Amino acid sequence: MGSLSDGFGRRFHYLRLSVTEVCNFRCTYCLPDGYRKAGPQDFLSVDEAGRLVSAFADLGLKKVRLTGGEPSARKDLDAIIARVAAVPGVEKLALTTNGWNLADKAEAWRAAGLSHLNVSVDSLDPGTFERLTGHARLDQVLAGVDRALDLGFQAVKLNAVLMRDTAEGFAAFADFVRERPVAVRFIELMRTGDNAELFRAQHLSGLVLKDWLTANGWRPRERGFDDGPAIEYEHPRHAGRLGLIAPYAPGFCDSCNRLRVTARGKLRLCLFGDGGIELRDLLQSDTVRPALLARIIDSLGAKAAGHRLHENDPGATRHLAQVGG
């Protein structure tokens, strides 16, 4: 078993694998006009995804998250989950979804080997949810969250993008996790190639949430080994947690522990980096595994110390569905 590290001493044990660029929601900060097909939808096959994850597991990655777009737009998602879950060395298999069919699919995903689940819920107000996503499906999504809790997933989390228009919703989310063992993480709105105007109007510093949490008795909890970038807070009278992902905070990239692969098989060293390293040509057969491992290892030398969001430079990321967030 190997390991992956870069020139800044950061070790990588977490892979985010996009399985599609397609999404059926029209979130204002990502795809406000909906998904527009750009070329053939030749996304990684089940076998290609399996070979890719197996190679990364050989290099010490223990946690895999399947992302999109919306992963459940793929009819073979159950097969992808089962294939990745069966890879030796993968200890956590997570999925990020908008939850539109979660109530119907959660049981099959759990049976296929999914252990962790993140659901995008930007507001608990039905009208605001519809305005942000283009769909009046909040009740349906929350029913899926409760179904997932009943099925015993190891962790269920909600993701909410932090924006000026929705910042008054902190108390509602706190009430939501009072009896539910769910972690809600607010993510600072990030500048992408397509959302410059929205970013200028809606970006809000995560300090607003930190101040609210402190004033209401929430305290930071100790971070786990393979935790992502979220700083989570807990409260003695709440079963769940609230957290913050603040990519504009000083030192945010210093503890980076993740790598990304796009739905077409390119390794992205940073969500907001440029270009990518082609891996797909080495995913057609197990016989080229040594070359695949070597290419992954060699690529880490090009990983930058951090993103350039502070310079209003989102790299090649036009929208988050393109890379998987």
Q: What are the structural domains of the chain? A: 4-322 (3.20.20.70)
The model carries a pTM of 0.93
**In the prediction, which pLDDT does 37 show?**
80
Distance, in Å, from the CA atom of 47 to the CA atom of 132, rounded to the nearest integer, reads: 35
**In the prediction, which pLDDT does 246 show?**
86
Supply φ then ψ for residue 67, to 5 degrees.
Answer: -130, -175
**In the prediction, which pLDDT does 302 show?**
81
Cα dist from 141 to 43, 77, 118, 161, 195, whole Å:
26, 18, 12, 16, 25
**In the prediction, which pLDDT does 133 show?**
96
Q: Which parts of the chain register pLDDT below 70?
A: 1-2, 225-228, 308-325
Distance, in Å, from the CA atom of 95 to the CA atom of 117, rounded to the nearest integer, reads: 5
* 292, two tokens: 């695949």
- Helices 289-299, 46-58: inter-axial angle, 10-degree rounding: 60
Measured in residues, the chain has a length of 325
